[in-house]
Structure 1
């Protein structure tokens, strides 16, 4: 069993393929700061296409980490 080293993981995270995790955390940080944000706002803030932001928000919603404030 290997030990987890945060410094090592952080330094290799982008090369290691955890870009989606990084983006999801960025989405959570945006929502924590603003309280609310639309898909277009999130997409612009993290510099991704709206469909990518929509998928990220959907994944976070399924896990109960975000919720919609109104209709789509």
Structure 2
């Protein structure tokens, strides 16, 4: 996945500013805009960390599977 362009972040920030100017009666819209902004920030930040976590997850999965196979082999040898 590509990184989110900065202008989408800026757009969300402008939306928050506009909603803020409208006043507190539109607090639901404001919280939605805040969530959207937070989501944009998090997705850009999470791109890198997700790759790291994905690599760790795959590595641990491989280790677990190989250990399982090794134990099964040993178990098969123990039977005879």
TM-score, structure 2 normalization: 0.27
Higher relative contact order (CA 8 A, sep 6+): 2
- Please identify the structure whose Cα radius of gyration is greater: 2
Higher-helix-fraction structure? 2
